[in-house]
Amino acid sequence: MQYMLLIYGDEHALNETERQECYEESTQLAHRLKSAGQYVAANPLHPTTMATSVQVRGGKRLVTDGPFAETREQLGGYFLVEAKNLDEALDIAARIPMARKGTVEVRPVIEIPGLPAE
Amino acid sequence: MSDGTIKQVSEVVDEIYRSESRQVLATLIRLLGDFDTAEEALHEAFAVAVDQWSRDGVPANPRAWLVSTGRFKAIDGMRRRARFDASLVELAKQLESQFSTSHVEEREDEIVEDDRLRLIFTCCHPALSSEAQIAMTLREICGLTTEEIACAFLTKPSTVAQRIVRAKAKIREARIPYEVPSEKELPDRLDAVLRVMYLVFNEGYSASLGESLTRHDLSSEAIRLGRLLIELLPEPEALGLLALMLLHDSRRKTRTSPSGELVLLEDQDRSLWNREQITEGLSLVQQAISRGVVGSYTLQAAIAAIHAQASRSVETDWTQIIGLYDLLMQVEPSPVIELNRAVAVAMRDGPLVGLSLIDAILARGDLQNYHLVHAARADLCRRLERTAEARVSYERALSLTKQDPERRFLHRRLTELR
């Protein structure tokens, strides 16, 4: 069984120093999980100002700036994908079946050095 | 070197800045991979130009010269900063190796047109908010200053500046590509570009009812953008939108009286309509229609074209206009288009028929808070001499509109009701 652990928090809560400390501590945790055979993937995300939302309705793609902000719908899954730029990521997002019913939020992942290789 | 020659060179540089700076910027963004770096490089290249051209003369191909100088300056700057920031070392090397392997003059000149399209599509990318798309388009493609944009949109320069900073950050961090979209994506992406242009145009066009001069310069800016777009990408709807903007703009001077009062289409002095813009608009509508699939901008332009062709209001071919509205309802059904169609029907078949169509829209619950539906209804009631009903609708329209010339117009009509 795999679990996705979703990290919620005020994106302005940490200053730059605290953010770096958080990255380091998280990287250490990831290594401990890796040696315990419990690690799949982990990454911080760029803030919501970098988010783009995709919906497909009637076969037509609707792309909007900003994060998904509808409280009546809840996070129901995720894909972690490799894409050469935002357009390619949006193409993939539009192919996700739930894009036709709900919304897929596309957020660039921050690559921090030192995380375990999969 | 005499003062006279230096002055001459700086005039030449100014002129080249006006005609070439956006194209040079568009190419530098592609070569350097970043808006801010490219802008800085652009300004450095022009600074060098003032100096060097007064000494050595203006180069044969100033655009290519500016691109390679800008690029050289950017790499140079990166190498200098690399002493403090190791991450720049690789980037500088990478840019440099591209630099030495390309034959600057010919190759860069070939692809420059494509670069301007890249710039247009990136500034109007749907992952940017509508306000950001407009600000980026006016700043990066049209070369307006932040202050000019703020003034035109009646906002603070700091607000516009922040929108631009955020948009550039998103382009960089989320990797919005600097590319012309694939054929499959093109229709949707072109829609976004056309929408930005039309918003800019309308912002200027509605401001031309009275207010400040700077604001209605936006219409000219939108038309200039439209011309650039059809030169680079002559898609039918791009032709249609340019035609629509030209045909509307041709009536700009006659929409208000010298004292600033609103003048309705039927009362405008048609001899003052801009013939040059009408001729260009009509020919663009023809071109757009001849391509087969007719979109909503083209249909709206075709309607404007019929008005433009009637030398007097009574000569308007309402049957053809109604037919075009019917097509428009198929392409893009909306209650506003339905309302416009109803007004055209009233012109052809009489106010009573038009009124029943408008009342049907209102009965459905649509457009309740749209001032023009009530103004149109009031006008038809007035023509039918249903004074009491007309008064109620004029008052409703008045309560829903904020624009001064429109308010004064409605007031005038109200007092005329006796």
Q: How far apart are CA B300 and CA B296, in angstroms?
A: 6
Q: Do A66 and A32 belong together in one domain?
A: no
% of chain B beyond a pLDDT of 90:
73
DSSP letters, B8-50, are: HHHHHHHHHHHHHHHHHHHHHHHHHS-HHHHHHHHHHHHHHHH
Q: Using the beta-carbon criterion (under 8 Å), do B174 and A46 form an inter-chain contact?
A: yes
Amino acid at B368: Q
Q: How far apart are CA A86 and CA A92, in angstroms?
A: 10
Q: How far apart are CA B30 and CA B122, in angstroms?
A: 11
Q: Do A74 and A97 belong together in one domain?
A: yes
Residues in chain A within 8 Å Cβ distance of B173: 46, 50, 108
Q: Do A37 and A52 belong together in one domain?
A: no
% of chain A beyond a pLDDT of 70:
98
Q: Is residue A21 in some structural domain? A: yes
Q: Do A99 and A59 belong together in one domain?
A: yes
Q: Do A71 and A86 belong together in one domain?
A: yes
Residues in chain A within 8 Å Cβ distance of B174: 46, 50, 52, 86, 106, 108
Residue A65 burial (10 A CB sphere; 0-12, 13-18, 19+): buried
Q: What is the mean pLDDT of residues B168-182?
A: 95
pLDDT of B212 higher than 60: no
Q: Do A53 and A95 belong together in one domain?
A: yes
Tokens of B226: 């439209």
- Report how many domains make up chain A: 2
Q: Using the beta-carbon criterion (under 8 Å), do A50 and B174 form an inter-chain contact?
A: yes
Q: Do A65 and A100 belong together in one domain?
A: yes
Tokens of A64: 């909007």
pLDDT of residue B293: 83
Q: Using the beta-carbon criterion (under 8 Å), do A86 and B175 form an inter-chain contact?
A: yes
Secondary structure element (H or E) that encloses residue A63, with its range: strand A60-65
N-terminal to C-terminal alpha carbon distance within chain A = 17
Tokens of B148: 């000019």
% of chain B beyond a pLDDT of 70:
92
Question: Chain B: which residues have CB within 8 Å of chain A?
Answer: 125-129, 132, 166, 169-170, 173-177, 179, 181, 185, 188
For chain B, what is the mean pLDDT? 90
Q: Kindly report which listed range (B83-92, B256-265, B335-344, B355-364) carries the lowest average pLDDT score.
A: B83-92
Q: What is the mean pLDDT of residues B179-204?
A: 92
Where in the sequence is the domain holding A38, given as residue range(s)? 6-42
Q: Do A18 and A56 belong together in one domain?
A: no
Give the pLDDT confidence of A30-70 residue by residue, as tens digits: 898 889 888 888 888 898 899 999 999 999 999 999 888 77
Q: Do A87 and A61 belong together in one domain?
A: yes
Q: Using the beta-carbon criterion (under 8 Å), do A65 and B129 form an inter-chain contact?
A: yes
- Name which of B175, B180, B182, B193 to mutate to probe chain A: the one with the most chain A Cβ atoms within 10 A of its Cβ: B175
The nearest alpha carbon in chain B to A61 belongs to B188
The nearest alpha carbon in chain A to B131 belongs to A65
The length of chain A in residues reads 118
Q: Do A65 and A80 belong together in one domain?
A: yes
Residue B232, min C-alpha distance to chain A (Å): 22
Q: Do A52 and A102 belong together in one domain?
A: yes
Q: Using the beta-carbon criterion (under 8 Å), do B126 and A65 form an inter-chain contact?
A: yes
Rounded to two decimals, the pTM is: 0.86
Q: Using the beta-carbon criterion (under 8 Å), do B174 and A66 form an inter-chain contact?
A: no
Q: How far apart are CA B258 and CA B214, in angstroms?
A: 19
Q: Does any CB of chain B come closer than 8 Å to the CB of residue A90?
A: yes
Q: Is residue A112 in some structural domain? A: no
Amino acid at B143: G
Q: Is residue A20 in some structural domain? A: yes
Q: Is residue A118 in some structural domain? A: no
Q: Does any CB of chain B come closer than 8 Å to the CB of residue A57?
A: no
N-terminal to C-terminal alpha carbon distance within chain B = 78
pLDDT of residue B16: 93
Q: How far apart are CA B341 and CA B376, in angstroms?
A: 11
Q: Do A98 and A62 belong together in one domain?
A: yes
